[in-house]
Amino acid sequence: MRIMNKDELWYCLNLLNDKLAIMGVYGEIGIYGGAVMCLVLNARDATEDIDAILNPKYDINKAVKLVAEELGISDNWLNDGVKGFVSENNDLILFNAMSNLNIYAASPKYMFAMKSLACRTDNKNDIEDIKFLLEYLGITSVSQAEEVIYQYYPQKRLLPKTFYVLMEILGG
């Protein structure tokens, strides 16, 4: 999969809105992961894809495929692979309202909890994202980090590596 910068992401999202308009569909997506870090928080310049929850799923997936065909990119550029990480306390904020597409984004606290839950230590972006979110949220201790994480996920969902990473980053 190719990396997309902010301009390319916005171009794809605008084209998605246009396709939905042609189809006569009004849709909503909730974005997570690298797309939030890139588009909403300006924490990085690019991401591989847009992790999202789609509504209505069938129609948006159809429009996603049309965008991919038109641009010659993978139809996985916008996907719902994040659904296994979505919390019951799904904390989304309206980020951008287009004519046929509302884009909601995970709040910074929610992003921190999600990134901590995933805690892919083999993924440089995940660790950098966690560091960025700790600073952005003013979290300076593991106990403060736990307090935020437990707003979204039960303790049993977190792996020990999450706490080791947080202790390493926060020094305690």
pLDDT tens-digit readout, 104-129: 999 999 999 999 999 988 888 899 99
DSSP secondary structure code for residue 123 in this structure: -
70-77 contacts at long range (C-beta below 8 A, 24 or more positions apart): 70/15, 71/12, 71/15, 73/2, 73/12, 74/1, 74/2, 74/49, 76/1, 76/49, 77/1, 77/4, 77/12, 77/49, 77/50
Which tokens go with 96? 């951008």
Q: Last residue of some domain: 106, 126, 155?
A: 106
Q: Around Cβ 99, how many Cβ atoms within 10 Å?
A: 9
- In this predicted structure, what is the pLDDT of residue 172? 67
> In terms of domains, do 98 and 14 share one?
yes
**Is 1 a residue whose pLDDT tops 70?**
no
> In terms of domains, do 63 and 117 share one?
no
Select the more confidently predicted residue: 123 or 67. Answer: 67
- In this predicted structure, what is the pLDDT of residue 61? 98
> In terms of domains, do 53 and 78 share one?
yes
Q: Last residue of some domain: 61, 86, 106?
A: 106
> In terms of domains, do 65 and 14 share one?
yes
> In terms of domains, do 45 and 96 share one?
yes
Contact yes or no for 46/57 (Cβ under 8 A): no
> In terms of domains, do 75 and 143 share one?
no
pLDDT digits (tens, 9 = 90+) for 137-160: 999 999 999 999 999 999 999 899
> In terms of domains, do 38 and 13 share one?
yes
pLDDT interval class at 2 (50, 70, 90): confident
> In terms of domains, do 55 and 139 share one?
no
Range of the domain at 91: 4-106
Global pTM reads 0.94
**Is 8 a residue whose pLDDT tops 90?**
yes
Select the more confidently predicted residue: 159 or 21. Answer: 21
Q: Last residue of some domain: 72, 87, 106?
A: 106
